[in-house]
Chain A
Amino acid sequence: MTAALIGFAALLVLVFLRLPIAIAMGVVGYVGFAALIGWNWNAALNMAAHRLVDTAQDYGLSVLPLFILMGTFVSRAGLSSELYAASNAFLGHRRGGLSMATIVACGGFSAICGSSLATAATMAKVAMPSMRRYGYADDLASASIAAGGTLGILIPPSVILVIYGLLTETSIRELFAAGFLPGLLGVLFYMAAVRFVVWRRPEKGPRAERTDWPGRWRALRGVWGTVLLFVVVMGGIYVGAFTPTEAAGIGAAGAFVIALARRSLSWPVLLDILSDAARTTASLFVVLIGALIFSNFVNRAGLPDALRDLVTAASLSPMVVIGMILLVYIVLGCVFESLSMLLLTVPIFFPLVQQLGFDLVWFGIVVVVVTEISLITPPVGLNVFVLSGVLRDVRTGTIFRGVTPFWCVDILRLTVLVLVPAVSLWLPAFLYR
């Protein structure tokens, strides 16, 4: 226990000195592991090097680059504009309707893209100009993109859920099924937040023109590519036609074909997309390898057992423990980047959660929703930063101000998901168990 705590403190110091988080976890894991086995540097280095060589060749991990590639293709193919046009045709005439349409379109885009930052950045380019044209307040407009974008990691496919599944050895297809309803709930709650904002201050989200039914059908026809991609990829996993890994390959190829058909590819663009996805994969892999080395050390140091003993000794009820873990996440979420937070904490918490008798699929969804919240929590909300990078003339403070109602409904959604596990577990149970 003491060794693990010293290790954790050293890790925090190193990452705050801006050592890449992968290296920090790897180095602390290596030194700590050596210390625990009687300063046997040789055996510890063997452990670390084996992790490096084996993880890079782990078949199950090939799902990562392929889903990342799929997301990069669909982001460049411009599918977001049709999604936005379609949801706009149905919602735009309401007060705050363009914001609601943004959220629905973000939800739709999340169904083919596993990354929150990519979802926010892509939607910003199509949704922001049109909300500006109709005189939407900057804070509401940008916040609905930032919040809607967080759905990217919850609605399957999701890169974060894949990483959680790999760390905890939980079924990825069950995690994907479990993320679906909480994602829809997120869309509804965000729309309610928009309603609340325009109810208080109607001038923030004026009405746009109503689209007639023929126009709506025309707009819907524009999103067939997105729908087809989602149905093939997720449907293929759900009916068991292929594994998540294979689905990722099919999805990437489908997105490639869509991008080709829309003439959004040239040789330089293709190279750029592939290399971008490859580099993202590499930086994720080293973090994953670092996290695995670190969790070797943490487990060897007996931290999960010590935590369990602590909980037993204090005779806390399991729900109180979950509440405390979530509180830790929300606090960490203020300062940590989402993926780092997940990788640092999941190896420590999941054995405890499992021993308390909770479902790891359910815990995965809860953790991802907390991660979503951290993406829009000041002072370090990555989605907000990405957005202010894309929308140069909107200040970070403006977006954070607008995000407040969305943050509140997120906390509400988290409470619902924690208290009613069925929202997450019904679909995977219905499909697979």
Chain B
Amino acid sequence: MSEAREPGGVAPAWTRAVDRALKLLEVASAVVLLALMALTCIDVAGRELANAPLNGATELTRLALAALVFCALPVASWRDQHIVVDLLDNVFPRALVGWRQLVVNLIAAAALTAVAVRAWKFAGRSVEYGDVTEYLHLPVAPIVYLIASLSALTALLMALNGIRSAMGYPPPPRSADV
């Protein structure tokens, strides 16, 4: 799976800076996931044992889910953890791998930028209309802003990923998914 250079070799300083900066999002996604787990348990325990379900647990769960997914998405994208079909990896000319990754990542970045900009507009519209959630009356816009901005960040990181590949550096090793 390793391409031109072995992982652990000299990565350019800017990629290491990105690694460090993404630690923040990684911790955020971990904390939100733990909170999501606790939220579900408190809700069920309250309902089954104390007959006192947590008010608005469903709404909080939905917010936590979106935050979890979009905090983790830039990290997963930077580590090249998207599900791909790597069937042709052995026959694809090695010299072109970096360039292919550049093109592929730029396509992904363009697509993500387009939806991020549109989602940002949705958020602006819900600010205008003053949309709030049904039960807790929380404003709808902030989570949509979060989704839009982290999608945009993901787009940027994928573009950088493409550049990194074109320079001949492999992404950090990926772990097994599902």
Contacts and interface: CB of A to CB of B under 8 A. Distances in A.
A335 B75 CA distance: 28
B48 A241 contact: yes
Given A65-B68, A117-B176, A117-B178, A248 B76 contact: no
Contacts of A284: 177-178
A123 interface: no
A250 B87 contact: no
Interface in B85-119: 85-89, 92, 100-101, 103-104, 107-108, 111-112, 114-115, 118-119
A19 B118 contact: no
Contacts of B11: none
A56 B65 contact: yes
A311 to B, nearest CB: 28
The secondary-structure label for the interface of chain A is: helix
Contact of B41 (A46, A250, A276): A250
- B: interface residue count bin: 35 or more
A118 interface: yes
Contacts of B66: 56-57
The secondary-structure label for the interface of chain B is: helix
Given A18-B84, A23-B111, A284-B178, A62 B65 contact: yes
B112 to A, nearest CB: 8
B63 interface: yes
A105 to B, nearest CB: 19
A158 to B, nearest CB: 10
Contact of B88 (A16, A26, A53, A285): A16
Interface in A261-303: 270-271, 274-287
B28 to A, nearest CB: 9
Nearest to A252: B37
Given A27-B107, A246-B43, A252-B37, A18 B61 contact: no
A21 interface: yes
A21 B176 contact: no
A277 B29 CA distance: 9
- A: interface residue count bin: 35 or more
B61 A15 contact: no
Interface string B156-178: 00000000000000000001111
Given A23-B108, A117-B176, A282-B69, 11 more contacts: A18-B85, A49-B119, A58-B65, A62-B65, A248-B40, A250-B44, A253-B37, A277-B33, A282-B81, A336-B85, A340-B85
Interface of A: 15-23, 26-27, 30, 45-46, 48-50, 52-53, 56-59, 61-62, 65-66, 68-69, 115-118, 121, 159-160, 241-242, 245-246, 248-250, 252-253, 256, 270-271, 274-287, 335-337, 339-340, 379-380, 386, 389
Interface of B: 26-27, 29-34, 36-41, 43-44, 48, 58, 61-66, 68-73, 75-76, 79, 81-89, 92, 100-101, 103-104, 107-108, 111-112, 114-115, 118-119, 122, 143-144, 147, 151, 175-178
